[in-house]
DNA sequence: ACTGGTCCCTTATTGGTTAG
DNA sequence: CTAACCAATAAGGGACCAGT
């Protein structure tokens, strides 16, 4: 099988040419403790005071950094709308605040310009009051990811020599600076005045926060200082304060839109809802609006690179966004960021980088394929794990079934051709109707009309365990004229919220007839899903359904479709299932009470077993790029495997504790040893991408 | 009334450090 | 060296809110 890639990774050039040089180890080591200290300063202050202090400190830090980088040029004026009077209230350790700000500014002034702005941005975000930060989704892009995003833009065909680029939510300029860098590289031989003109004409950032936009602009000013000196002109205004969602005269003019927009649920007024009707349905999220906005800004044939939560890949409330993107700006590649934590400070959101091309009406036949990758983001590197090409579902708005990990490649492929859904198996899904948090009901154990109440903790792969209920929860429910809430027939119960980190996303147990017979009915709490037979005789028996849903294969299949911690009824209805006719061997195993491993193996076969082995693996021509390793360990410099290493090759233990665990260096091991799950052998895990370990 | 998504909080666990 | 303690992290439950 040839894994044709529209966006091949250029291994010879390296993934992120300037990342390692951009990340001065001194800064990497010394800045975070200062930022933590800074966060303490504002943690307990009233919001307005904290905001004031944050802005003052950033101003001071920027002044310090500027003095180091361009002492001969004037620093751009602080936004007039924000009060500039130094550290505001002496009561809150002002000297310490000033010292901190200067210290951060000095460190920022040491590194490259991109590093300086990202450091200033990080200072700002760590000082911002939490409510403010959350309300506006202020989480700036780490430099490694920003570099990767501009790299993707290049792969999507952006010509940095003439491209017009905009970031409608630019924050402190994390994406503007790498873009500027690429533009400058192409303008190297041009007269200085022309360079300034070109940058001013072709690069633009917008942010709601005038101080953030100012930091971004100061970064641009710093970078353009040499050209300014030559011409005696100031740098052009690139970053503007304003609302990135507002329509402008420049819609459809940009060759590239780069954005890590803010996230967060919204309450929309009717006008805004109508304005973004194409891309939102149900409960809207801010980033969906920015996605539509990004498409509107892009010219036909132009490219978009967006960093968003994964939720839109499968969630019900993002069906309109999926439909919109599929028709207006089909994704070329989707790259899931595997770590939920540690990439964005204080965020538990699972995120994804999507590269799209704006439709140009030229009838791009045969589209619908997406290049999937997983990104393992370290503190100063990104490891790219190729997951192959995958087809988007033809049905508009349907969840996109895409692998998030290498191990899901085969299952994701197979799912694309599986036509059956739960409805075809003879089942419907609904959420448990009883609100267990309703404390108005007293414990009714043993009273008349009381029926068993089933909570999530009663459901496990081992079966149903009633009257199990956690502390403070009643295992009984008194039906008070709401008998329609009760379940009277056997069904499958499935936990409704499971963490992404859990080994299994799907946890199911059969509600047997005996519990129903002894009590007449049971109540199902809201955090369980109910999979109930539609007719008297479903195409697949309950026990077989249970076996499939409890299998690792089904859990992995579900992971390919879900983006949030919820196991929603919507997603369950869309989960591809094997043809009922193919379930004969599994039914026999279940009926015979076969051991779990045999059942597990059969479920895996049902999902992925029919694929040839070659297809079950991600592309062998793919590359893994491990810049951070090379940077820290000279012995490993240049270790960027371009092809599959032979079994028997000696592996070094992992060198990046952030990525692959801590502890003393492990001894070298031989490829082919059982290295799976051994975190000290990061390389071993890398090689598992190739299907070797 | 029902459903879905997300955030936050509590609890359990783990890993690391230090006193005895 | 062991036990106790503490901090950080993971897991999972609960609450809340908004849309249908």
Tell me what pLDDT residue A408 has. 74
Give, in Å, how far the C1' of C9 lies from the CA of A304: 36
pLDDT for A68: 92
Q: How confident is the model at residue A147 (pLDDT cuts 50, 70, 90)?
A: confident
Stated pTM of the model: 0.78
pLDDT more than 90, % of chain A: 19
- What would the two tokens of residue A173 be? 């300029």
**Does the structural domain A19-402 have CATH classification 3.40.50.150?**
yes
Q: Among residues A275, A350, A338, A257, which one has the least CA distance to residue A311?
A: A350
The answer to whether A455 CB sits below 7 Å from nucleic acid chain C is yes
Pairwise CA distance, residues A479 & A2, whole Å: 61
Is pLDDT larger for residue A104 or for residue A536?
A104
Per-residue tokens: A263: 């996230």
Q: Is the CB of A265 under 7 A from strand B?
A: yes
Who contacts A684 (Cβ-Cβ below 8 Å, separation ≥6)? A651, A669, A671, A673, A675, A676, A678, A693
Residues 6+ apart with CB under 8 A from A665: A653, A680
pLDDT of residue A339: 60
Q: Is the CB of A234 under 7 A from strand C?
A: no
Give nucleotides in strand C with any atom < 7 A to a protein C-beta. 10-20
Choice among A82-96, A393-407, A667-681 with the minimum mean pLDDT: A667-681
A604-627: per-residue pLDDT in tens? 888 876 544 333 333 222 222 222
Judge whether residue A423 has pLDDT over 70: yes
Closest residue, by C-alpha, to the C1' of B8? A348
Query: Lowest-confidence range among A41-45, A96-100, A681-685?
Result: A681-685
Query: Which among A400-409, A475-484, A517-526, A575-584 has the top mean pLDDT?
Result: A575-584
A203 and A238 Cβ atoms separated by less than 8 Å: yes
How do residues A217-273 score in pLDDT, each as one tens digit?
A: 999 999 999 999 999 999 999 999 988 888 888 999 999 999 888 777 666 677 777
pLDDT, average across residues A655-673? 34
| Residue A213 near residue A240, CB atoms below 8 Å | yes
A74/A653 Cα distance (integer angstroms): 49
Strand B within 7 A of A154 CB: no
The answer to whether the beta carbon of residue A472 comes closer than 7 angstroms to any atom of strand C is yes
Question: Does A439 contact strand C, using a CB cutoff of 7 Å?
Answer: yes
pLDDT digits (tens, 9 = 90+) for A452-496: 878 777 777 777 777 766 555 667 776 655 445 678 888 888 887
Of all nucleotides, the one whose C1′ comes closest to residue A266's CA is: C18
The reply to whether the CB atom of residue A417 sits less than 7 A from any atom in nucleic acid chain C is: no
The order of strands in the sheet holding A486-487 is A476-478, A450-454, A522-524, A486-487
Cα angle, residue A31 at apex, residues A25 and A33 outer, rounded to 5°: 120
Nucleotide nearest to A662 (CA to C1'): B15
Rg for chain A, CA atoms, rounded: 28
C1' of B4 to CA of A186 (Å): 48
Output the six-digit token pair for A467.
């009257």
Q: Between residues A684 and A236, which one has the greater pLDDT? A: A236
Give residue-wise pLDDT tens across range A494-532: 887 665 555 567 778 888 888 888 888 887 877 778 888
Q: Residue A483 CA to nucleotide C4 C1', Å? A: 54
**C1'-nearest nucleotide to the CA of A562:** B5
Give the residue extent of every domain in chain A: 19-402, 422-611
| pLDDT at residue A136, as a whole number | 63
Most confident range (mean pLDDT) of A74-88, A312-326, A676-690 is: A312-326
- CB of residue A495 closer than 7 A to nucleic acid strand C? yes
CA atoms within 13 A on the CB side of A138: 25
Q: What was the pLDDT predicted at A661?
A: 30
- How far: A549 CA to C2 C1' (Å)? 46
Cβ of A134 < 7 Å from strand B? Answer: yes
Domain A422-611: CATH class, spelled out? alpha beta
Percent of chain A beyond pLDDT 70?
67
Least confident of A209-213, A246-250, A318-322, A586-590: A318-322
Nucleotide C10: closest residue by CA–C1': A501
Q: Tell me the nt nearest to A567, Cα to C1'.
A: B4
pLDDT at A501: 56
B chain positions with any atom within 7 Å of a protein CB? 1-8, 15-16
Q: For chain A, what is the mean pLDDT? A: 72
H or E element: which one contains A110? helix A94-110
Is the CB of A558 less than 7 A from some atom of nucleic acid strand B? no
Distance A310 CA to C12 C1' (A): 21
Of A60, A72, A69, which Cα lies nearest the Cα of A96?
A: A60
Q: Is the CB of A282 under 7 A from strand C?
A: yes
Q: Would the Cβ of A497 be found within 7 angstroms of any atom in strand C?
A: yes
- Cβ of A505 near strand C (under 7 Å)? The reply is no
């Amino acid at each position: 099988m040839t894994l044709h890639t529209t966006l091949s990774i250029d291994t010879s050039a390296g993934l992120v040419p300037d990342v390692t040089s951009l990340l001065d180890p001194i800064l990497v080591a010394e800045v975070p403790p200062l930022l933590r200290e800074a966060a303490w300063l504002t943690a307990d202050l009233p919001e307005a005071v904290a905001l004031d202090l944050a802005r003052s400190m950033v101003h001071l830090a920027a002044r310090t950094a500027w003095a180091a980088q361009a002492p001969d040029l004037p620093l751009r004026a602080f936004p007039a709308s924000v009060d500039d009077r130094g550290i505001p209230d002496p009561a809150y350790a002002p000297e310490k605040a000033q010292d901190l700000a200067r210290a951060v500014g000095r460190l920022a002034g040491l590194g490259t310009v991109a590093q300086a702005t990202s450091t200033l941005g990080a200072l700002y975000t760590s000082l911002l009051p939490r409510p403010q930060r959350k309300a506006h989704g202020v989480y700036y892009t780490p430099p490694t990811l920003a570099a990767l995003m501009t790299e993707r833009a290049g792969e999507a065909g952006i010509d940095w020599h003439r491209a017009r680029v905009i970031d409608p939510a630019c924050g402190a300029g994390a994406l503007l600076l790498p873009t500027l860098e690429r533009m400058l590289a192409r303008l190297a031989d041009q007269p200085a005045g022309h360079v300034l003109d070109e940058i001013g004409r072709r690069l633009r950032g917008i942010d709601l926060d005038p101080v953030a936009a100012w930091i971004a602009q100061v970064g641009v000013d710093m970078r353009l200082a040499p050209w300014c000196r030559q011409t005696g002109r100031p740098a052009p205004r690139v970053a503007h304060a304003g609302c990135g969602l507002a329509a402008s005269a420049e819609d459809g003019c940009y060759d590239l839109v780069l954005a890590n927009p803010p996230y967060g649920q919204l309450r929309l007024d009717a006008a805004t809802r109508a304005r973004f009707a194409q891309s939102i349905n149900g409960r809207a999220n801010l980033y969906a609006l920015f996605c539509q906005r990004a498409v509107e800004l892009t010219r036909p044939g132009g490219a978009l690179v967006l960093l968003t939560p994964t939720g839109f890949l499968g969630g019900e409330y993002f069906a309109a966004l999926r439909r919109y993107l599929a028709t207006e700006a089909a994704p070329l590649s989707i790259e899931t960021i595997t770590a939920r934590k540690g990439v964005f400070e204080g965020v538990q959101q699972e995120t994804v980088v999507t590269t799209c091309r704006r439709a140009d009406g030229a009838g791009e036949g045969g589209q619908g394929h997406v290049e999937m990758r997983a990104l393992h983001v370290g503190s100063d590197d990104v490891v790219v794990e190729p997951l192959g090409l995958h087809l988007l579902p033809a049905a508009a708005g349907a969840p996109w079934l895409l692998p998030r990990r290498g191990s899901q490649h085969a299952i994701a492929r197979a799912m694309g051709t599986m036509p059956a859904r739960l409805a075809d198996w003879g089942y419907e899904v609904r959420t448990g109707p009883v609100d267990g948090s309703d404390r108005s009901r007293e414990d009714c154990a043993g009273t008349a009309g009381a029926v068993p109440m089933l909570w999530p903790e009663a459901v496990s792969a081992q079966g149903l365990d009633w009257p199990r209920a956690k502390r403070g929860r009643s295992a009984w429910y008194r039906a008070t004229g709401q008998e329609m809430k009760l379940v009277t027939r056997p069904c499958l119960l499935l936990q409704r919220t499971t963490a992404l980190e859990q080994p299994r996303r799907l946890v199911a147990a059969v509600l047997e007839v005996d519990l129903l017979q002894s009590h007449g009915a049971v109540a199902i709490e809201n955090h369980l899903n109910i999979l109930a037979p539609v007719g008297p005789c479903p195409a697949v028996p309950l026990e077989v359904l249970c076996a499939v849903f409890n299998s690792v294969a089904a859990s992995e299949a579900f992971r390919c479709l879900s983006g949030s911690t919820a196991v929603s009824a919507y997603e369950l209805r869309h989960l591809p299932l094997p043809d009922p006719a193919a379930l004969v061997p599994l039914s026999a195993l279940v009926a015979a009470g076969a051991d779990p491993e045999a059942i597990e193996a059969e479920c895996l076969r049902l999902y992925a077993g029919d694929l040839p082995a070659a297809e079950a693996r991600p592309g062998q021509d793919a590359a893994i790029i491990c810049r951070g390793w090379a940077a820290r360990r000279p012995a490993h410099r240049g270790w960027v495997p371009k092809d599959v290493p032979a079994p028997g090759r000696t592996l070094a233990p992992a060198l990046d504790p952030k990525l692959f665990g801590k502890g003393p260096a492990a001894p070298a091991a031989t490829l082919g040893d059982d290295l799976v799950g051994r975190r000290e052998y990061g390389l071993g895990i890398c090689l598992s991408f190739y299907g070797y370990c």
